Structure 1
Amino acid sequence: MIWRKKNKYTDSISGVLHIVNVFLGYVPTFLDDYVVSSFDSSVLDKAQLLDITRDVTPVPCHSHNDYWRRVPLYDALRWGCTGVEADVWLFDEELYVGHSTNALTQDGTFTSMYVDPLVKMLDHKNELGEFATSSSVKNGIFDTEPAQTLVLLVDFKNNGHDIFPVVSQQLNALREKGYLTYFNGNTTIEGAITVVATGNAPFDLITANSTYRDIFFDAPLDKLDEGSVTTRGGQGTVGTTPTSHFDSTNSYYASVNFGHSIGTLWFGRITEAQRLKIRAQIQSAKERGLKSRYWSAPKFPIGLRNRVWKMLVEEGVGYLNGDDLQGMTRLDWGVKRHWGLIG
């Protein structure tokens, strides 16, 4: 009886110590500030929106669920993000943008929210002035680095095989003006816009044309070295076979859910085993000419998020993926500016 009482007492003390330990592991992370990254587009006229990147330094970060922002596309561009994301649903031969069907509106189409604004901006960037000469090389979105491509990640939400031809058709406005990155049968020529398909995007349709393609795949980062890909459905698997090979001729991003692949960061700490796994995945993507990207990494507490970002950059990740655009592009979490140029 006495032993049981002591055992209960010991268990209670151990439980309290465990909670205290967890709390202390997170204390520094709660002390960080958080800044909402949005702006009021109503104070800008159309000409100012076209030049919103004039003095912006591009940063290899991806605007996750970009369409949720107060000003989709432009918000990401004014912070310097070189990747934006549009979730698309196909209904009645039209592509609507939104995270779920409940969020779709008649006005929120892929063309109106992304294709048309990008065409207008790029047309503006490539206007020939009084002293300019014609050139086959197209300027990109960012005036400070006109050769920098902008990744347009298109997340196929319902049937990917039905969505693919509609996406391809709606990209004609960019394709016809030579703004798209494309594979010519031998090499990949980078353009102002690189279209990457994810979600239920079908790898078999993306690779069907062996001599030309301008829609690239979001490869499964955690499967690159396994030699096979399951066909369970979802990002990086639709339309693949056990022998599918991913490289820069058919893919651009190589992505994975951080938590599913790397695991939980207990007590807010990254273990050596987790770091080594991340290092191996990033290196595998680099060897194939792909940009590694982790989605669904910890977002809160802010200090933990920043430590994860810092670690990913140190390991050479291709793109940071996040929701706090100012937080990603501010780069005041221990990494010097222009890190993407040395990764």
Structure 2
Amino acid sequence: MEVSLLSERHPSTPSEYVVTTPFEAYSDSPDHAEMKNANVRMNHVPQHVGPRINTSASLWRQAWALSCFPLSKHSSSSSRADDEEDIPLLEESLPRKKRHGRSRIPRYLVHSLLAFFVMLGLVQFLTLTCGIILSFFPDEYDRAASRWARTTNTATGIDTDTDITQWPTDLSRDIFPVACHSHNDYWRRVPLYSALQAGCTSVEADVWAFDSEDTLYVGHTTASLTAHRTLQSMYIEPLLRILEQQNPITPFQRFISTPSHGVFDTDPEQTLVLLIDFKTDGESTWVSVMKELEPLRERGFLTYFDGNDVIHGPITVVGTGNTPFELVISNSTYRDIFFDAPLNKLVGGDSVEEGVLSFLNFESENAFSDIPDMDSKYNITNSYYASISLNDALGFSGGLRFSKRQMELLRGQVNVAHRLGLRVRYWGLPSWPRSLRNYVWRVLVQEGVDVLNVDDLVGATKGSWRVGIFDWWWWWW
């Protein structure tokens, strides 16, 4: 086998070579078999991809490949074409290296994106871990409320131990009321005071009555009840102490203000709602609640209906749960316990559709101003809140956003309740993820909901409701 150069050109242009290789011509007669030579003309294109290639060595490899795969002996035209395709020529192998290098770029991008998301996941995991750890420590409201256990005697200047219900007037001088409801307030480290320190205008107490005694016990379930956690000790007596200090009799003020000042120095006319959830039988619990409220009633600290008008006081008591509506309205000349009306049944009907949407025409530009005068058994003379679970009201159980239909229902319910003079409260709001919770809070406030039912006092009263940079991942759930 010989390789000869026909013509040599510029180094960057192809050069022509002839490869002479012997082969045995095929013949039917064995006497006529002889060796012949075949000339194969090759064009060599100089290319440099990756490391520099030894041109002469590559040419010899191609010549060797041609000698190993003869094109004429025992082959047809179709098999010869297949053999030619199997020959690893230099001109075909070099571009493949280029293509292989380009195909790796998307893999690098995929790996980079995966690394980015893994890092975000780690950061989010650390954030959640830190949040769980911090949850075991008191928040700023709990710490502030705990400090009220020790006050300074203004006469002697000596620190004295006092009951936790002691609330000097000046400690509320920088607290501004916020329209939020402290859900299950008795769960907090310092019940009542933590909510007041946050500025909440509504607190909740679940009460249990037993036949053997008149005492009302406070707790979420019977397993959480203790002899010392009572409505009297946790709410009635502390509120009485607070209001007496907010309305002192001194040489400078010889008579109690009319109306009496409320718990907030920054807004003395702001009433505090005490939402009492009747957990046991309504009628028996009603008798005990009426008895427990007597100290506040005697001092004129309760909001009441006198048969014609509602006279607002520092404390407004609202009954929910098993509160019997018949007993609420039984006295037509005086009542100081108001009802938590069902928001979905304000104007009749057994569903939100029948109870609200029948009065609305959402195709009209003035849909809400066209609502006719409504006759409802729930009104300002007997009810204060109009409440319902967010899921029962709108069918919202944790989706990403309110749908158009849900927004129509929300606006209709709020408008109907306001036409009746009632304040709207939705319970069962999502608390996690925080970006969803903040979105629900923003929408409810923008649409005129009167009080937010919250568990996170700090987040509701001092935190930002904007979506954080690490809140992206909740969309995956």
One fold, TM greater than 0.5? yes
Following the alignment from structure 2 to structure 1, what is the Cα–Cα distance between the partners of residues 334 and 148? 39
Match of residue 263, structure 1, among 384, 395, 399 = 395
1:83 Cα offset (Å): 0.2
Is 1:74 paired with 2:193? yes
In structure 2, relative to structure 1, the CA distance for the partners of 1:164 and 1:46 (3 Å cut) is farther
Q: What is the number of equivalent residue pairs in this alignment? A: 295
Deviations 1:277-309 (A, max 9, x none): 111111111111111000001111011001000
Query: Who is 1:113 aligned against?
Result: 234
Root-mean-square deviation (Å): 2.4
Checking the alignment, whether the CA contact within 8 Å between 2:263 and 2:272 is kept in structure 1 is yes
Following the alignment from structure 1 to structure 2, what is the Cα–Cα distance between the partners of residues 265 and 200? 25
Following the alignment from structure 1 to structure 2, what is the Cα–Cα distance between the partners of residues 47 and 63? 25
1:97 Cα offset (Å): 0.2
Match of residue 317, structure 2, among 195, 205, 227 = 195
Checking the alignment, whether the CA contact within 8 Å between 2:386 and 2:417 is kept in structure 1 is yes
Following the alignment from structure 2 to structure 1, what is the Cα–Cα distance between the partners of residues 431 and 205? 20
1:270 Cα offset (Å): 1.0
Match of residue 287, structure 2, among 148, 165, 171 = 165
1:266 Cα offset (Å): 5.8
Deviations 1:124-161 (A, max 9, x none): 00003332252332000000000000000000001011
1:276 Cα offset (Å): 1.2
Equivalent AA in structure 2 for residue 283 of structure 1:
N
Query: Who is 2:335 aligned against?
Result: 213
Match of residue 175, structure 1, among 297, 308, 323 = 297
Query: Who is 1:43 aligned against?
Result: 147
Query: Who is 1:338 aligned against?
Result: none
In structure 2, relative to structure 1, the CA distance for the partners of 1:266 and 1:116 (3 Å cut) is closer
Equivalent AA in structure 1 for residue 233 of structure 2:
S
Is 1:93 paired with 2:214? yes
1:172 Cα offset (Å): 0.5
Equivalent AA in structure 1 for residue 445 of structure 2:
V
In structure 2, relative to structure 1, the CA distance for the partners of 1:128 and 1:287 (3 Å cut) is same
1:262-281 → structure 2 map (5 Å cutoff) = 262-264=394-396, 267-281=399-413
1:331 Cα offset (Å): 5.8
Checking the alignment, whether the CA contact within 8 Å between 2:398 and 2:430 is kept in structure 1 is no
Checking the alignment, whether the CA contact within 8 Å between 2:442 and 2:465 is kept in structure 1 is yes
In structure 2, relative to structure 1, the CA distance for the partners of 1:47 and 1:189 (3 Å cut) is farther
Following the alignment from structure 1 to structure 2, what is the Cα–Cα distance between the partners of residues 170 and 46? 27
Following the alignment from structure 2 to structure 1, what is the Cα–Cα distance between the partners of residues 150 and 272? 20
Checking the alignment, whether the CA contact within 8 Å between 2:391 and 2:428 is kept in structure 1 is yes
In structure 2, relative to structure 1, the CA distance for the partners of 1:46 and 1:219 (3 Å cut) is farther
Checking the alignment, whether the CA contact within 8 Å between 2:347 and 2:376 is kept in structure 1 is no
In structure 2, relative to structure 1, the CA distance for the partners of 1:90 and 1:66 (3 Å cut) is same
Checking the alignment, whether the CA contact within 8 Å between 2:146 and 2:190 is kept in structure 1 is no
Query: Who is 1:61 aligned against?
Result: 180
Is 1:138 paired with 2:260? yes
Deviations 1:74-132 (A, max 9, x none): 00000000000000000232100000000000000100000000000000000033322
Q: What is the identity percentage for the equivalent residue pairs of Structure 1 and Structure 2?
A: 49
Q: Secondary structure at the match of 1:39?
A: helix
Q: Secondary structure at the match of 1:253?
A: strand
Following the alignment from structure 1 to structure 2, what is the Cα–Cα distance between the partners of residues 261 and 217? 19
Following the alignment from structure 1 to structure 2, what is the Cα–Cα distance between the partners of residues 55 and 110? 28
Query: Who is 2:8 aligned against?
Result: none
Deviations 1:239-295 (A, max 9, x none): xxxx96101100001100111221135641111111111111111111111110000
Checking the alignment, whether the CA contact within 8 Å between 2:247 and 2:261 is kept in structure 1 is yes
Q: Secondary structure at the match of 1:326?
A: helix
Following the alignment from structure 2 to structure 1, what is the Cα–Cα distance between the partners of residues 403 and 209? 42
Checking the alignment, whether the CA contact within 8 Å between 1:53 and 1:80 is kept in structure 2 is no
Following the alignment from structure 1 to structure 2, what is the Cα–Cα distance between the partners of residues 115 and 251? 21
Checking the alignment, whether the CA contact within 8 Å between 1:285 and 1:292 is kept in structure 2 is yes
The alignment's TM-score, normalised by the length of structure 1, stands at 0.80
Q: Secondary structure at the match of 2:142?
A: coil
Following the alignment from structure 2 to structure 1, what is the Cα–Cα distance between the partners of residues 376 and 331? 15
Equivalent AA in structure 1 for residue 305 of structure 2:
F
Structure 1 spans left out of the alignment, 5+ residues: 1-26, 230-242, 335-343
Equivalent AA in structure 2 for residue 158 of structure 1:
T
Following the alignment from structure 1 to structure 2, what is the Cα–Cα distance between the partners of residues 198 and 42? 29
Match of residue 128, structure 1, among 249, 255, 261 = 249
Query: Who is 1:341 aligned against?
Result: none
Q: Which moved more, 1:282-291 or 1:43-52?
A: 43-52
The structure with more radius of gyration: 2
Question: Which consecutive segments of 4 or more residues in structure 1 shift more than 4 A?
Answer: 30-38, 46-49
